[in-house]
Structure 1
Amino acid sequence: MNKKKGIIVASLVLSSSIFFPTVSAFGSEGKPTLEIPMEKPSSKKPHPVFSWNIPGVNSPVLHPGLARGAGMVQQPLDEIDSVMSDLIADGVMPGAVTIVARRGHIVQQGAYGYAAKYTDGIKTEMDHPILMQEDTIFDLASISKVFTSTAAMILYEQGYFDLQDPVANYIPEFAQNGKEEVTISQLLTHTSGFVAWVPLYAQEETREDRLQYVFNMSLIIRYAFNQEKSTRIVI
């Protein structure tokens, strides 16, 4: 086992936050909703048509383009405006930015609602709400989990660590205030007993200070392992 890589994995997993829901790109019949069906190449078409699982060559640079040039259909893209507007009207979120791109073509992009509208968690409106812009900067938050969990599982498959290894095996400073037995698996599955969310970006000043903040944290739920039933119980 490579301890250095294990430390990297544990650090990445530890730095992750809550998940965001995603929207499936597949319709009720399991078929992609933004796909042009496979057709035979035609000399009259300036762009070849790609199926969903053969996306073609990706461009390293995104640029405005047409749905046809990206191998997509226009109608579902046209519905995004109304979907986002309905979500904002229903109070799901104060605002959002969307961008859809394929093969280097940006085929849809829009800003909706407000970037800042409320002063607190009970939706007290600001005197001067800030409109959302296409270049509004967002906190990545749990989007990083998509990459963290994938990277961790690649190293797991390569045998660099075991999912049931205590995090403290790789980061000894983590073994404080009841966290000695917290495993990598528990961090990945949100069952470690940590408080659900902590705004680490607002804590301390440096990365090292924020790591120390996590090392010093206590668990709000502690678990014991029942060997007989192979289950964990809350203690």
Structure 2
Amino acid sequence: MRRGVLALLSVAALLLPGASTNAMATEEGQAGRFDRPRHGFAPASTVLRPGTPEQVGLDPAPIRDAERRLAEWTRVEPATGHPLFAGAVGLLVHDGVVVDTVTAGAAVRYADGAGTELPAGQQVPMRPDTIFDLASISKLFTSIAVMQLAERGELDVAAPVARYLPEFGVNGKESITVEQLLTHTSGLEPFLPLWRDWPDRAARIRAVMDVAPKKAPGTAYQYSDLNLITLGVLVERLTGSTLDEVVRERITEPLGMTDTGYNPPASKLDRIAATEFQANPPRGMVRGSVHDENAWSLGGVAGHAGVFSTARDLAVLGQAILNGGSYAGKRILRPDTVRAMLTNHTQAFPGDEHGLGFELDQLWYMGALSSPSTAGHTGYTGTSLVIDPLSRSVAILLTNRVHPSRSWGSINPARQAWATGLARALAVRPVWGADSWFSGAGNATTATLTTAPLTPRRGPVTVSYSAFVDSESTDPLVLESSTDGTGWQPVPVRAFGRGAPHGQVDQLSGHGHRAWWHVMATVPHAEQLQLRWRYTTDRSYTGRGVHLDGIRVVSPGGILLDDERRRDALIAEGWATRNR
């Protein structure tokens, strides 16, 4: 019993490094914090207002860095002879404050599909109110319209679609539910070339109603435009109105989204970003008409694509979701409906987390804002919307990346960088003392934090520290030991805290938990010993990064290292001290 008590006292002592600690921060002052997740919805009274990052506790430096990167991506790359995208508008919101709106490049830049640049006087620069073809972000508007019908008792999301659209219930689709369409678990194939293989709108809709599933419903996740085209038809059938009328009357008009809708009027053409030069079908440079060929062939109004909007209007929609379904006194959804839409309904398919309409926890475009609670969607034209309830933030990036060609490359790095810029602007306060070690290593990078040689007198060495880890599983933080400073061996560790791995592990990784972990390890005795913390990233999808704090190394003979007393006792490569 005495040995057990002494062991507990030793652990407690190890978790109290240094003389000046601020202990764990309280729940006060959560605005601008990344390591203190918010709970519940924002106050329904929250409306967007202009401000600066500093006014809501954000570090402006990561945001400015993300701005610079967006601008760089609009410049011609020598290796390809063209930019990653012609232009962009980015907007960031935190706690209801629009902390940044940035424009880069051009809304109209090219004359043809080969990338011939227009004369400078004919190019149209991006501006904050540029209107973009949202592409698949349109799916969110259809999903909201469906859930509004569910709230009114006009639809049951657990019911077969065939209850409302009898013509859909053929060729193995009889059991497919509304929820399976919303979550892309219906088994329908991703795409049909409706514009090419069927002669008119009626035939194209009939083709979608007739199609047979490629997989048994409910057995796999398969993202499919056909799911949302079907839901668009369902909305029209139950309301007796066209989808664009429903979206306008029940979503955009109540929210005051005056620049959002299908088939924008000619009067707004000067503000619309061009998309692709299309030769097949022979549409030329597409501007002001929906880019998606199937939506175009359906008259510009479809459940999967067709909505045009601005960054500011999308921010209103994002804030309405953060508020639990209301904005400026107008409610479009009940809070319980929003919760259902932001709940993962595809747990059987890890990596494809999906709510009712919203995608969840997708690091590839949500960047360091990604978490099980983070919701959003992307669009093929180069758009993305990220809504993070845990920090009450919204990140919007709208580009015309298909202008003039869809083959010029993926903009996922830009999507990640923009969301991550906001995430890294949020503070992670040190656990102990005034600062912590931080490595926000970029892609394909290694950062090391190494002790000077230590000389334990006897017995094994105990290591304790606090770690804040926000990285994908392939970007590990590893504790290593060496007896000669050349050969390094991994040291198993145990971590404690929200989201920490269970049991003893050789490395730490993970994202979305947003919590400090207390970590402990034991290293066998050696006459001379060095320790190092190595954080290595692969070629893509870095998160917010890693913080280390309160590093303490103890042997039976006494304290070998306490970095709260001696920061210079560690050799940092790729790490720096930060107070937030």
- Counterparts of 1:85-100 in structure 2, within 5 Å, are 85-89=71-75, 91-100=83-92
> Which stretch shifts more, 77-86 or 146-155?
146-155
- The 8 Å contact of residues 167 and 210 in structure 2, kept in 1 or not, is answered as no
- Report SS of the residue matched to 1:54: coil
Aligned partner of residue 193 in structure 1, secondary structure: coil
For 1:49 and 1:187, how far apart are their aligned partners in 2?
A: 34
CA contact (8 A) 2:189 2:214 kept: no
Counterpart in 2 of 1:170? 164
Shift of 1:64: 2.2
Equivalent of 1:141 in 135, 145, 159:
135
For the residue of structure 1 that corresponds to 2:107, the secondary structure is strand
Deviations 1:76-110 (A, max 9, x none): 11112212023223533211101112223221111
| Letter matched to residue 57 of structure 2 | G
Distance in 1, matches of 2:110 and 2:184, equals 31
Q: Which amino acid in 2 is paired with 1:68?
A: E
User: How far apart, CA to CA, are the structure 2 residues paired with 1:147 and 1:216?
Assistant: 23
Matched, 1:195 2:191: yes
How far did residue 73 of structure 1 move? Answer: 1.6
Q: Which residue of 2 aligns with 1:115?
A: 107
Query: Residue by residue, what CA displacement relative to the aligned partner does 1:3-44 show, whole Å, maximum 9, x if unpaired?
Result: xxxxxxxxxxxxxxxxxxxxxxxxxxxxxxxxxx95796xxx
The answer on 1:102 being equivalent to 2:94 is: yes
* 1:1-235 aligned within 5 A: 48-50=29-31, 51-52=33-34, 53-54=37-38, 60-89=46-75, 91-127=83-119, 128-146=122-140, 160-162=156-158, 165=160, 167-174=161-168, 183=176, 184=178, 185=180, 188-189=183-184, 191-193=187-189, 195=191, 212=202, 214-217=204-207, 222-223=212-213
Structure 2 residue matching 1:160: 3-state secondary structure:
coil
Q: CA deviation at 1:162?
A: 3.4
Distance apart, 1:225 and its partner CA: 5.7
Q: Percent identity?
A: 27
Alignment length (residue pairs): 173
Q: In structure 2, how many angstroms separate the alpha carbons of the residues matched to 1:214 and 1:222? A: 15
Q: Which amino acid aligns with 1:64?
A: P
Mark the structure with the bigger radius of gyration: 2
* Runs of 5+ unmatched residues, structure 2: 1-23, 78-82, 221-580
8 Å contact from structure 1 (residues 194, 219) kept in 2: no
Scaled by the length of structure 2, what TM-score is found? 0.24
In structure 1, the residue matched to 2:555 is none
CA contact (8 A) 1:195 1:219 kept: no
Cα distance 1:168–1:220, how it changes in 2: closer, same or farther (>3 A)? closer
* 1:93 aligned counterpart, secondary structure: coil
Inter-partner Cα distance in structure 1 for 2:157 and 2:65:
45
Distance 1:112 1:216 in 2: 42
Distance, in Å, in 2 between the alignment partners of 1:181 and 1:214 is 20
Change (3 A) 1:61 1:149: closer
**Alpha carbons of structure 1 residues 194 and 39: separation in structure 2 relative to 1, 3 Å:** closer
Partners of 2:193 and 2:132 lie apart in 1 by 17
Residue 313 of structure 2 corresponds to: none
CA contact (8 A) 2:188 2:214 kept: no
CA separation in 1, counterparts of 2:65 and 2:192?
A: 34
8 Å Cα contact 1:116/1:130 also seen in 2: yes
- Partner of residue 308, structure 2: none
Q: Which amino acid aligns with 1:98?
A: G
CA distance in 1, matches of 2:62, 2:144: 30
**Contact 1:58 1:103 survives alignment (8 Å):** no
Mapped to 2, the partners of 1:196 and 1:60 lie a distance apart of 42
Distance verdict in 2 for CA 1:196–1:135, change over 3 Å:
farther
Letter matched to residue 134 of structure 1? P
Contact 1:149 1:188 in 2 (8 A): no
Q: Does the residue aligned with 1:217 lie in a helix, a strand or coil? A: helix
| Equivalent position amino acid for 1:54 in 2 | R
Aligned to 1:23: none
Inter-partner Cα distance in structure 1 for 2:95 and 2:48: 8
Q: Which moved more, 1:58-67 or 1:89-98?
A: 58-67
TM-score by length of 1: 0.52
> Aligned in 2, Cα 1:75/1:198: closer, same or farther, shift over 3 Å?
farther
What RMSD over aligned residues (CA atoms) do the two structures have, in Å? 4.6
Contact 2:143 2:182 in 1 (8 A): no
Q: Cα 1:57–1:221, aligned 2, differ >3 Å: closer, same or farther?
A: closer
